[in-house]
Structure 1
Amino acid sequence: MLRCAVLDDYQGVALGLADWSRVRATSFRGHFTGRDELVAALHDYEIVVAMRERTPLPAEVLDRLPNLRLLITTGMRNAAIDLDAARARGVTVCGTGSSSTPPVELTWALILGLTRHLVPEATALRAGGPWQSTLGTDLHGRTLGLLGLGKIGSRMAEIGRAFGMDVVAWSRNLTQERTDALGVRLAPGKDALLAEADIVSVHLVLSERTRGLIGERELSLMRPDAYLVNTSRAAIVDQEALAAALQAGRIAGAGLDVFETEPLPPGHELRTLPNVLATPHLGYVTELNYRTYFREAVEDIDAFLAGAPIRRLA
């Protein structure tokens, strides 16, 4: 019976959400921060299940795992796995389904939390503080700017319109035909969107073209009463430039679910800035998504053992 390691099972739920009886499965709840520690823990395992991009698996790590035969990522895209290196050393890489609905829901939770100041108001209520101390920002009639109009972005547009918002979108390859079909305005450019939007929400895939897409210059185009929300990939927004803009009050606030380093180090300024509403990468963390991840991970294992791998990435 092959040994299977399930990485970054923070909530300790993986083994209870699927039938792992065909392998000897071990769940690792803690996050491995060092490569030596990771390699030592995984050395004897033939199968590894990675939770999204929480643990990088570059060529250097894969080369030090001589027993590894099957690597499974939750979802069908994982930039933290070196697929070429896996392919070169004969490691099969497979994926699972992943719903885009939970990230949409969390993005709107961040938007509503920011614009209605839910955390400070709820905290004050619990502490017996002032009864009403902020003025909320209306969504109706405001402009929602979407960077990206794919599966998640298009759903964001639909909900924004339901709130009565004017929705404008931009990405490098976005067409008028696509925006017209969704009842969305096509921004003439990224800069125009940033200057106009009351809320800017990022929904792009991280690539060399989108890395650092929003930096100091781009943030300076936003109005001081505008909010930035990023539930996509941290590297799309320059984290240092964002922190500086927030500290200086050049934008009203930010809703963040993704960070350059995860878990976010204790004492990091994004943990403490009063105009930041931050969550620990919860976008995809829901019961139904997790059931899909681990059920399909087991299906991947069964198919591999039968000699006919499914949902292959490499």
Structure 2
Amino acid sequence: MTLHCAVLDDYQDVALSMADWSALARDIEVRSLQSHFMSEQEVAEAVGDCEILVAMRERTPFSASLFARLPRLELLITSGMRNASIDLEAAARHGVTVCGTASSSEPPAELTWALILGLARNVVQEGSALRQNGPWQSTIGADLHGRRLALLGLGKIGAKVARVGQAFGMDVMAWSENLTDERAAGIGVARARTLGELLEAGDFVSVHLQLSDRTRGLIGASELRRMRRTAYLVNTSRAAIVDQAALVRALHDGWIAGAGSDVFETEPLPADDPLRSAPNFLGLPHLGYVTRRNYEGYFQEAVEDIAGYLQGRPLRTLSARPAPPPR
């Protein structure tokens, strides 16, 4: 029996070219879907015939109600080994095995610096003016050397961002609830004792925390007001860590010099979202993990996950469902 597999949210239409799917051709019929589905009903109508789905990061949430709409689904694969938008308990209740793939922390760290440099040197404004025959030089850039980089979080990505900041000659400080003096000293950064101390000291504040009940809404209006009016806020982690309404107000009222974000609470970002027109805001469409090496890893391991499942030996499992018998 041929099984049906769909790759969701393949915006660039590259999933089938980033890996060798031919090893599955005898058992699996694979299709790639480029359009994002805004409702569970749309998802169910598009892939209700599928036994296998491949999800790209957290673009399509998988709730208990969606699993109930997909009775044929047996295997769900997500890029990365953590996906907060998949209800793993519901997956297990509906008999769905969930597997992941490896993911590199280098691309999001690199993109953080694209945002920092873009904001500091007004790259979009000046580049657009040049292409449109506008004014030749209309801004004055912000310096990095000798300024303070303030990091919320010093995990894998935060540590990489810290080392680049040090290479630029920046003074680096970090804070999180779990950060220790030993961890900070090992990377050569100062540890702020409180979030407020970090925000008040930073010229560039960059968010690298996981989203949880503790971090949701961590940066609100009062925290943004504690930042310097000349400071910039960058978020490549999760949008909900920063109160989006407060951020819009901070940009309009000049509480901070500017902000950059690669993450949004609703993605794709709605056409009428106020961030699209906020002053001194540099936004990107969640490109942090979107690089060739990452994508090749995601889809090559997705093929491996499917092959392992068919052989009764699921790989990189995220759910507790027992392994199925080999087909």
Residue 20 of structure 1: how far off its partner (Å): 2.1
Post-superposition CA distance 1:18-69 (Å, at most 9, x none): 1223111110100000111111112110000000000011000001111100
Residue number in structure 2 paired with 1:3:
4
Opposite residue 196 of structure 1, the aligned amino acid is: A
**CA distance in 2: counterparts of 1:62 and 1:182, whole angstroms:** 43
**CA distance in 2: counterparts of 1:41 and 1:82, whole angstroms:** 20
Where has structure 1 moved over 2 Å in runs of 4 or more?
A: none
Residue 274 of structure 1: how far off its partner (Å): 2.9
Opposite residue 3 of structure 2, the aligned amino acid is: L
Residue number in structure 2 paired with 1:175:
180
* 2:156 equivalent to 1:151: yes
**CA distance in 1: counterparts of 2:162 and 2:183, whole angstroms:** 12
Residue number in structure 2 paired with 1:217:
222
DSSP-derived class of the 1:48 partner: strand
Residue number in structure 2 paired with 1:14:
15
Residue number in structure 2 paired with 1:61:
66
Residue number in structure 1 paired with 2:253:
248
Q: TM-score scaled to structure 2, two decimals?
A: 0.95
**CA distance in 1: counterparts of 2:202 and 2:155, whole angstroms:** 19
Residue number in structure 2 paired with 1:206:
211
Q: TM-score scaled to structure 1, two decimals?
A: 0.99
**CA distance in 1: counterparts of 2:244 and 2:283, whole angstroms:** 13
Residue 157 of structure 1: how far off its partner (Å): 0.6
Q: 1:259 aligns with which of 241, 261, 264?
A: 264
Residue 89 of structure 1: how far off its partner (Å): 1.6
**CA distance in 2: counterparts of 1:37 and 1:135, whole angstroms:** 48
DSSP-derived class of the 1:251 partner: coil
DSSP-derived class of the 1:15 partner: coil
Q: 1:294 aligns with which of 290, 299, 305?
A: 299
* 2:125 equivalent to 1:113: no
Residue 17 of structure 1: how far off its partner (Å): 1.1
Post-superposition CA distance 1:194-219 (Å, at most 9, x none): 01100000000111111111011111
CA contact (8 A) 2:236 2:262 kept: yes
Opposite residue 202 of structure 2, the aligned amino acid is: A
**CA distance in 2: counterparts of 1:176 and 1:274, whole angstroms:** 37
CA contact (8 A) 2:251 2:279 kept: no
DSSP-derived class of the 1:4 partner: strand
Q: 2:233 aligns with which of 217, 228, 235?
A: 228
**CA distance in 2: counterparts of 1:20 and 1:56, whole angstroms:** 25
Post-superposition CA distance 1:221-278 (Å, at most 9, x none): 0011000000000000000110011111110000110001000011322112230010
DSSP-derived class of the 2:134 partner: coil
* 2:45 equivalent to 1:44: no
Opposite residue 2 of structure 1, the aligned amino acid is: L
**CA distance in 2: counterparts of 1:293 and 1:160, whole angstroms:** 29
Residue number in structure 2 paired with 1:136:
141
**CA distance in 2: counterparts of 1:118 and 1:89, whole angstroms:** 49
Opposite residue 41 of structure 2, the aligned amino acid is: D
Opposite residue 301 of structure 1, the aligned amino acid is: I
**CA distance in 2: counterparts of 1:59 and 1:66, whole angstroms:** 12
Q: Tell which deviates more after alignment, 125-134 or 217-226.
A: 125-134
Opposite residue 9 of structure 1, the aligned amino acid is: D
Post-superposition CA distance 1:180-203 (Å, at most 9, x none): 010000001101000110000000
Residue 13 of structure 1: how far off its partner (Å): 0.4
**CA distance in 2: counterparts of 1:285 and 1:34, whole angstroms:** 24
* 2:149 equivalent to 1:162: no
**CA distance in 1: counterparts of 2:121 and 2:251, whole angstroms:** 18
**CA distance in 1: counterparts of 2:75 and 2:133, whole angstroms:** 54
Q: In the TM superposition, what are the counterparts of 1:266-277 in structure 2 within 5 Å?
A: 266-277=271-282
Opposite residue 19 of structure 1, the aligned amino acid is: D
